[in-house]
Amino acid sequence: MTPEQEMESWEAFERYRTGKMTGPEKDAFEQEMQQNAERKRELENNRKTQQVMEHYFIEQRMRDALQKLQEREQETRQGRSASCYRALGIYGSLLAAACLLLYLTFAPVSLPDAGYDVTITRSADSAHLSPAQRRAFGHFFEGQAHMAEGQYVRAVYNFEQVLQYEDLRPYFREAAQWHLAVSYLRSRQPYKAGKLYARLNDCEVCEYRINWLNRLKMRWQITWQQWMN
Amino acid sequence: MYTAQEMVEKLRSGTEVEAVTAQLYGQYQRSIREQARKRGIRPDDINDLVQEVMIAFLRNVRAGRFEPRSEGSLSRYLSEIARNLTFKNYRGEDRRDRREEEYQHTQLPPPTPEDLMMERDYIEQSWEIFRRLCTVCQRILTAYYRDEMPMAEIARVHDLGTADAVKVRKFRCIKELKGLLGL
């Protein structure tokens, strides 16, 4: 068979396979296949070749589909991981913020050690203290004792008494004011605490130093109590 | 959603292959992965295994070796293919000792019907043989028979001259393919 004949034979097979061969041509084709063994074998070979191609293309479609499905799943997984991390980041931040707020709300405001005050205030020669000054010191430390016992209303009284004396050293006066502010706060008088705090916070030359964290706690707790009221 | 019978029929006729693949993948890939993990297949290999199971299933269906008796039979069949592929193909160096130890005192089970079904035949050969054709032949035959592009379009897209030239070239590719098949 010449190459051209082979090509024609293949095309005839394709027309027959796809149903495009009809009528007398189809009858003649089928008859020849039945009668001519070689043509029959050729038809069988063509059919097998066609089936191989057909299967290849179907398999290719399945492989392409699988690849797309796996890629999509991979993208989804990565997207989910990114979302997870984002969510964790957000929740983590919220949790940290909540912890900070809880700390600021409930952690007690720490004032400089009273023992130190004793050294400063008591270091003055007690023989040279006036009765008024002696009473002021007494109220101060009594106030501190009441604070330590949780008796803030009594502590308020003590520190208010202290601040009535005019002849107080600046350090001592400021210390008393801070203790009073804290006692106001603890005895649920946030507005008084707020007024006093505002004055103390605005001081230009502060003798009794309170660090920023405790100031922040004070400010937050005053604001919180005012809201709650 | 197709039934098992419908999926088999569509794969045999080559219709809606993508949809059937998506359903098979969606329904069974997790169990195949789980099976693979239990057998210690490396995570990098599990994707390949899933693909191979699906392809093996396709080949068996098209070769007429699988008839679904029930919805469950398809699941069991895929599971069996996965098991066989795991034993045959995924034997890492680091698992050799463990495997030898595991089978030291036991006899390997006799081949199952699925084992026998996995032997090579012309359907399985289709993929390898077609890929042995030259790139141009693969492109022409794919464009004409799979994508059903007209000759003139094939000539233009693949820069192959005229429609007649593509026609002649296509036939030569068919001859080459027949040669590879030993026909």
Q: pLDDT by residue (tens digit) across A178-192?
A: 999 999 999 999 999
Number of Cβ atoms within 10 Å of the Cβ of B108: 7
Which among A4, A66, A73 is the top mutation candidate for probing chain B, defined by the most B β-carbons within 10 Å of its own β-carbon?
A: A66
| Pick from A59, A63, A66: CB nearest B126 | A59
What integer is the mean pLDDT of B5-29? Answer: 94
What integer is the mean pLDDT of A28-50? Answer: 88
Q: What is the pLDDT of residue B10?
A: 95
CA–CA distance, B53 with B35 (Å, rounded to integer)? 12
Cβ-based contacts of B168 with chain A (< 8 Å): 7
Angle between helices B43-62 and B17-38 (to 10 degrees): 130
Number of Cβ atoms within 10 Å of the Cβ of A68: 14
Q: What is the pLDDT of residue B90?
A: 63
Q: What would the pLDDT profile of B110-124 be if each residue is shown by its tens digit?
A: 434 454 444 346 777
| Pick from A45, A60, A63: CB nearest B183 | A45
CA–CA distance, B154 with A57 (Å, rounded to integer)? 17
What integer is the mean pLDDT of A58-75? Answer: 92
Q: Do B130 and A70 touch (CB under 8 A)?
A: no
CA–CA distance, A10 with A220 (Å, rounded to integer)? 91
| Pick from A48, A59, A66: CB nearest B181 | A48
CA–CA distance, A137 with A118 (Å, rounded to integer)? 9
| Cα-only R_g, chain A | 48
What integer is the mean pLDDT of A60-81? Answer: 89
Under a CB-based contact definition with an 8 Å cutoff, are residues A31 and B19 in contact? no
Cα–Cα distances in angstroms (integers) from residue B32 to residues A69, A164, B40, B41, B86, in the given order: 15, 85, 12, 11, 10
Mean pLDDT in chain A? 87
User: For residue B174, what is the nearest residue in chain A, using CA coordinates?
Assistant: A49
Cβ-Cβ pairs closer than 8 A, A with B, add up to: 84
- Tell me the two tokens of residue A139: 């109220």
CA–CA distance, B47 with B30 (Å, rounded to integer)? 11
Q: Do A65 and B22 touch (CB under 8 A)?
A: yes
CA–CA distance, B78 with B100 (Å, rounded to integer)? 26
Question: Is the pLDDT confidence value at B21 over 80?
Answer: yes
Under a CB-based contact definition with an 8 Å cutoff, are residues A45 and B183 in contact? yes
Q: Do B174 and A10 touch (CB under 8 A)?
A: yes
The Cα of A62 is separated from the nearest Cα of chain B by a number of Å equal to 6
Q: What is the pLDDT of residue A1?
A: 74
Cβ-based contacts of A53 with chain B (< 8 Å): 126, 130, 141, 145, 177
Question: Is the pLDDT confidence value at B103 over 60?
Answer: no
Which among A11, A46, A58 is the top mutation candidate for probing chain B, defined by the most B β-carbons within 10 Å of its own β-carbon?
A: A58
Cβ-based contacts of A45 with chain B (< 8 Å): 178, 183
Q: What would the pLDDT profile of B31-54 be if each residue is shown by its tens digit?
A: 999 988 888 888 888 889 999 999
State the pLDDT confidence band at A149, using cuts at 50, 70 and 90.
very high
CA–CA distance, B135 with B143 (Å, rounded to integer)? 12
User: Is the ipTM reported for this complex over the cut 0.85?
Assistant: no
What integer is the mean pLDDT of A50-63? Answer: 93
What integer is the mean pLDDT of A188-215? Answer: 89
Q: What is the pLDDT of residue A81?
A: 81
What integer is the mean pLDDT of A196-224? Answer: 89
B35 or A204, which is more confident? B35
Under a CB-based contact definition with an 8 Å cutoff, are residues B17 and B10 in contact? yes
Residue type, B30: R
Cβ-based contacts of A62 with chain B (< 8 Å): 17-18, 21, 54-55, 58
Question: Is the pLDDT confidence value at A76 over 80?
Answer: yes
Q: What is the pLDDT of residue B169?
A: 93
